[in-house]
């Protein structure tokens, strides 16, 4: 259970019975505790204030020997920051107004209220005094610091709608030098049309007391009709009736604050966003029961727009997305640009984690609306990671790291592109980091290994070639599966270097076999090397492949390059151009893992593949000497298209026989041999060559 808030109360009351009533009323409250120091004379209370601090004073209006307002003045003179509530026996609004005008925060009529009213009045007096002191301090700070900071000052008297703008504020807003004081509508008239509705809504929310302070970025239009970003801050003064009577603040020209604000969107930059995160975490620790969250939004199409339409279009995409996020977020949420493609949102004061999900869904929906860029309607595709900031968080950088971890998760929530962080993701992230280190270590020590799995002809059992398979054996992690380290290598940009090593090593091995006379006259012999889609992205990828083949003396018919459908999906046009160039050089092309993607049939007709490798999941459907209709259909389609078919994962003679009857030409799998090192592959080649490459001899050599 949470500790109850303690208030120290100084009661100046000459009547012991009235003092007892106050003590008992305060003692009954279930949520707050009160320590009451009671004095019958004001002189005793003044001596007490010299040595002790209290939160509020309850002062009887009719003290013996002095006027009630005189005692109030003496208390305020001794403790200017102390909120005072007057206690009076007569309900007289005129007298009550005099008390407030002389510095009291409120007054209560004895016997006219209950314990709850007394507690509420005490707490409101404390908060009202704190707020008025804050406004006074703010005004002093404005006067002392804005000149040096280059900020402008504005002061709005709300009842008569009179707006004062300092000379610097007029310059920032683009007003003429001689412009007299105006009203708030004149202020709004300088704000860009795309920002003014959001600005007005945020102002209205603050005036209603929904936000602690006012802070908005907006574009203002200068005399030359050029816009520039400004930051407007302010704080409203609320009267006893709960109405805003005055609001004052500053205006900063963000073009002079590049250290804290993004020049493209006008949003706080990463440094300032982290500052806000740090403050949110501290507030959460201090208050104990509040809840907050952080959203990290990545604009997936940013790089594509930059490359195709230019950097100005990329800036327009980010700016449009920023405005959409501001429109979907709540007033008071902090939005900042983390880096070129990522925007962060701090959700303060949410009721529970589910509210963060609701707001995230709203932002996702807003980002589904197209943004007009250079005459085109472009939807800013995005992903989002969510961190609910519990009491365990104290470091804003940790919050951002965990949000990035959640953002990169493949899972989605309610079919929306966002994911909420949980500790299991951190463990997966740590495992991924260990793989990154292992990859860097393997490259530095040349610790990768290439194994070769036999590919045989189903009709004759002849050895057709091998598939070169990359293996990573790390001294700390042991054997790391390719499915774990290949995606990491692609993400961190090492796949080009690793892929180049694989191609070069495989070609060197082919050249050695040719030198030994094992494959010299074998135009049907080929070694398959897997190619990542990232390797096709480079402009010199084709020239590099050809250079490796030329340097090692490998003829194109002895090399097959395998690509998965996912390798083509990211940039199909670029992949098509690259594969056509490879094809023109005589190198065979194979689609790997056929049937596991969503668009395999369309890719078969579009790309210049020679071979098709059927995934093992379809081979496993063979049972009772028969194939599934889907497998039969796939093989029939390949036959119609004239594609050479290789079945993967063949483990039984039944699977081999069924595939052969259906017209599948080649196969690989444990039935014909597991992946082996180069020495064992050489022995298999020698055995196959000396015995006509027949099935039994080759298979026994592969399995030995």
Render pLDDT for 340-353 as a digit per residue (tens, 0 to 9).
899 999 998 887 88
Phi, psi of 258, deg, nearest 5: -60, -20
Cα gap 344→389, rounded to integer Å: 14
Q: Do the Cβ atoms of 486 and 531 come closer than 8 Å?
A: no
Residue 354: predicted pLDDT: 87
Give domain 266-421's CATH number out of 3.40.50.1240, 3.50.30.50, 3.30.70.270, 3.30.70.20.
Answer: 3.30.70.270
Q: Is the pLDDT of residue 411 over 70?
A: no
Please report which helix (H) or strand (E) contains residue 432, including its range: helix 423-445
For residues 32-43, average pLDDT: 90
3-state DSSP call for residue 505?
Answer: helix
For helices 495-515 and 541-552, angle between their N-to-C axes, nearest 10 degrees: 30
The pLDDT score that the predictor gives to residue 352 is: 84
User: 2 by DSSP, 3-state: which?
Assistant: coil
Q: What number is the average pLDDT over the span 591-598?
A: 71
**What tens digit of pLDDT does each residue of 70-101 get?**
888 888 888 888 999 988 887 777 888 888 88
All residues at 6 or more sequence positions from 105 whose CB lies less than 8 Å from its CB, including other chains = 83, 84, 85, 124, 125, 126, 128, 129
Sign of CA dihedral 667, 673, 677, 679: negative
Q: Report how far residue 68's alpha carbon sits from residue 98's, in angstroms, rounded to the nearest whole number.
A: 11
Report the share of the chain in percent with pLDDT over 70.
90
The CATH code of domain 446-703 reads: 3.20.20.450
Confidence bin at 679 (pLDDT 50/70/90): very high
Q: CA-CA distances (angstroms) from residue 7 to 33, 81, 293, 432?
A: 6, 15, 31, 52
Among 177, 181, 186, 147, which residue's Cα sits nearest to residue 165? 181
Yes or no: say if 564 and 591 are a contact pair by the CB < 8 Å rule.
Answer: yes
pLDDT at 587 over 60: yes
Q: Evaluate if residue 695 carries a pLDDT over 50.
A: no
- In the DSSP assignment, the letter for residue 104 is -
Q: HSE of 131 in the Cβ direction (CA atoms, 13 Å)?
A: 20
Q: How far apart (Å, rounded) are the C-alpha atoms in residues 290 and 439?
A: 43
Contacts of 500 (CB under 8 A, 6+ apart): 544, 548
Other beta carbons within 10 Å of 532: 20
Closest CA to 638 of 595, 588, 576, 587: 595
Identify the burial level of 361 via C-beta atoms within 10 angstroms of its C-beta, where 0-12 means exposed, 13-18 middle and 19 or more buried: middle
The answer to which of 123-132, 160-169, 413-422, 515-524 has the lowest mean pLDDT is 413-422
In sequence order, the 6+-apart residues with CB closer than 8 A to the CB of 667 are 455, 456, 458, 646, 647, 648, 650, 656, 659
Write the pLDDT tens digit of every residue in 102-150: 888 888 888 777 888 888 888 888 888 888 777 777 666 655 555 555 6
Report the mean per-residue pLDDT for the chain.
84
* Nearest alpha carbon to residue 151 among 164, 170, 133: 170
**What integer pLDDT is reported at residue 603 of this predicted model?**
65
Q: How confident is the model at residue 413 (pLDDT cuts 50, 70, 90)?
A: very low
CA-CA-CA-CA dihedral for 537, 540, 545, 547, to nearest 10: -170
Question: Phi first, then psi: what are they for 661, rounded to 5°?
Answer: -65, -30
Question: Cβ–Cβ contacts within 10 Å for residue 542, how many?
Answer: 19
Fold held by 150-257? Beta-Lactamase (3.30.450)
Q: How many CA atoms lie within 13 A of 196 on its CB side?
A: 12
For residue range 158-209, list pLDDT tens digits in order: 989 999 888 888 888 888 766 666 788 888 988 888 788 888 988 998 898 8
Contact 198, 327 (CB under 8 A): yes
List the single range of 147-151, 285-289, 354-358, 455-459 with lowest mean pLDDT.
Answer: 147-151
Three-state SS letters, 119-174 = HHHHHHHHHHHHHHHHHHHHHHHHHHHHHHHCCEEEEEECCCCEEEECHHHHHHHC
Strand partners of residue 444: none
- What is the pLDDT at residue 559? 95
- Measured in degrees and rounded to the nearest 5, phi and psi for residue 682 equal -65, -45
Between these two residues, 22 and 601, which has the higher pLDDT value?
22
Buried b (16+ CB within 10 A) or exposed e, 575-589: bbebbebbbeeebbb
What fold does the segment set 5-129 form as a domain?
Rossmann fold (3.40.50)
d(CA 53, CA 8): 8
CA distance 460 to 451: 24
Residue 192: what pLDDT? 87
- Can you count the helices (H) and strands (E) in the chain? 26, 26
Structural domain boundaries in the chain: 5-129, 150-257, 266-421, 446-703
Q: What share of the chain is helix, strand, coil (3-state, %, to 5)?
A: 45, 25, 30
**Per annotation, catalytic residue among 342, 409, 467, 648:** 648
565, 591 Cβ separation under 8 angstroms: yes
Cα(332)–Cα(288) distance, integer angstroms: 20
Q: What is the mean pLDDT of residues 458-487?
A: 90
**Do 103 and 75 contact (CB within 8 A), yes or no?**
no
pLDDT at 698 over 50: no
End-to-end distance of the chain based on CA atoms, in angstroms? 70
DSSP letter string over 266-316?
--B-HHHHHHHHHHHHHHHHHHSS-EEEEEEEEETTHHHHHHHH-HHHHHH
Range from 101-110, 252-261, 553-562, 673-682 carrying the lowest mean pLDDT: 252-261
- Contacts for 549 with CB less than 8 Å, ≥ 6 apart: 507, 555, 556, 559, 587
Among 22-26, 63-67, 188-192, 320-324, the minimum mean pLDDT is found in 63-67
**44 catalytic residue (yes or no):** no
Give the whole-number percent of the chain exceeding pLDDT 90. 24
CB 314 within 8 A of CB 371: no
DSSP 8-state secondary structure symbol assigned to residue 479: E
* Phi and psi at residue 139, to the nearest 5°: -60, -40
pLDDT band at 38 (very low <50, low <70, confident <90, very high): very high
- 279, 393 Cβ separation under 8 angstroms: no
Closest by alpha carbon to 90, among 124, 57, 61?
61
Distance CA 419, CA 588 (A): 41
Are 664 and 649 in contact by the 8 Å Cβ rule? The answer is: no
Cα separation of 497 and 504, whole Å?
11
CA distances from 97 to 11, 60, 86, 244 (A): 21, 16, 11, 19
The size of the chain, in residues, is 704
């Amino acid at each position: 259970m949470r500790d109850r808030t303690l208030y120290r109360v100084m009661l100046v009351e000459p009547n012991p019975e009235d003092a007892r009533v106050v003590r008992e009323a305060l003692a009954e409250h279930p949520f707050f505790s009160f320590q009451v120091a009671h004095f019958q004379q004001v002189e005793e209370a003044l001596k007490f204030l010299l040595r002790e601090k209290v939160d509020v004073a309850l002062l009887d209006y009719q003290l013996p020997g002095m006027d009630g307002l005189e005692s109030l003045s003496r208390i305020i003179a001794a403790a200017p920051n102390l909120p005072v509530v007057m206690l009076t026996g007569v309900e007289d609004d005129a007298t009550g107004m005099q008390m407030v005008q002389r510095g009291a925060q409120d007054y209560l009529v004895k016997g006219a209220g209950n314990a709850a009213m007394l507690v509420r009045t005490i707490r409101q007096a404390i908060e009202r005094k704190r707020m008025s002191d804050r406004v006074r301090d703010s005004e002093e700070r404005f006067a002392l610091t804005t000149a040096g900071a280059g900020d402008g000052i504005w002061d709005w008297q709300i009842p008569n709608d009179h707006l004062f703008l300092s000379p610097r504020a007029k310059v920032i807003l683009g007003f003429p030098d001689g412009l007299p004081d105006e009203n708030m509508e004149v202020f709004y008239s300088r704000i860009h049309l795309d920002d003014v509705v959001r600005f007005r809504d945020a102002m209205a929310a603050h005036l209603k007391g929904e936000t602690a302070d006012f802070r908005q970025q907006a574009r203002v239009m200068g005399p030359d009709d050029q816009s520039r970003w400004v930051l407007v801050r302010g704080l409203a003064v609320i009267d006893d009736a709960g109405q805003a009577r005055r609001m004052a603040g500053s205006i900063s020209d963000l073009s002079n604050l590049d250290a804290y604000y993004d020049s493209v969107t006008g949003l706080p930059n990463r440094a300032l966003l982290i500052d806000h995160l740090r403050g949110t975490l501290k507030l959460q620790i201090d208050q104990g029961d509040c809840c907050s969250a952080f959203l990290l939004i990545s604009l997936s199409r940013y790089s594509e727009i930059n490359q195709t339409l230019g950097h100005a279009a990329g800036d327009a995409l980010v700016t449009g997305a920023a405005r959409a996020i501001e429109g979907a977020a709540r007033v008071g949420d902090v939005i900042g640009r983390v880096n070129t493609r990522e925007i962060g949102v701090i959700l303060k004061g949410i009721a529970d984690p589910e509210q963060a999900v609701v707001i995230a869904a709203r932002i996702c929906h807003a980002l589904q609306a197209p943004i007009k860029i250079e005459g085109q309607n472009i939807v800013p595709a995005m992903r989002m990671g969510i961190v609910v900031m519990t009491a365990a968080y104290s470091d804003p950088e940790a919050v951002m790291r965990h949000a990035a971890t959640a953002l990169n998760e493949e899972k989605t929530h309610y079919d929306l592109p966002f994911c909420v962080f949980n500790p299991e993701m951190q463990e997966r992230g740590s495992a991924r980091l260990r793989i990154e280190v292992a990859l860097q270590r393997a490259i530095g020590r040349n610790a990768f290994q290439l194994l070769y799995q036999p590919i045989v002809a189903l009709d004759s059992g002849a050895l057709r070639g091998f598939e070169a398979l990359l293996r990573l054996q790390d001294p700390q992690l042991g054997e790391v599966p390719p499915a774990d380290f290949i995606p990491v290598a692609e993400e961190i940009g090492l796949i080009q270097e690793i892929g180049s090593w694989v191609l070069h090593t495989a070609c060197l091995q082919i050249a050695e076999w040719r030198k030994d006379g094992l494959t010299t006259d074998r135009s049907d012999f080929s070694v398959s090397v897997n190619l990542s889609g990232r390797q096709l992205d480079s402009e010199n990828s084709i020239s590099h492949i050809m250079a490796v083949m030329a340097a090692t003396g490998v003829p194109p018919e002895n090399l097959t390059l395998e690509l998965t459908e996912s390798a083509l999906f990211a940039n199909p046009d670029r992949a098509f151009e690259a594969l056509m160039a490879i094809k023109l050089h005589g190198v065979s092309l194979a689609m790997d893992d056929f049937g596991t993607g969503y668009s395999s049939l369309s890719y078969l007709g579009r790309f210049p593949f020679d071979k098709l490798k059927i995934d093992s999941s379809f081979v496993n459907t063979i049972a009772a000497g028969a194939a599934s209709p889907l497998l039969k259909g796939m093989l029939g389609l390949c036959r119609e298209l004239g594609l050479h078919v290789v079945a993967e994962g063949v483990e039984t003679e039944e699977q081999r026989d069924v595939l052969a009857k259906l017209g599948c030409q080649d196969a690989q799998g444990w039935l014909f041999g597991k992946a082996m090192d180069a020495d064992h592959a050489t022995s298999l080649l020698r055995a196959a060559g000396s015995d006509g490459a027949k099935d039994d001899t080759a298979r026994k050599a592969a399995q030995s």
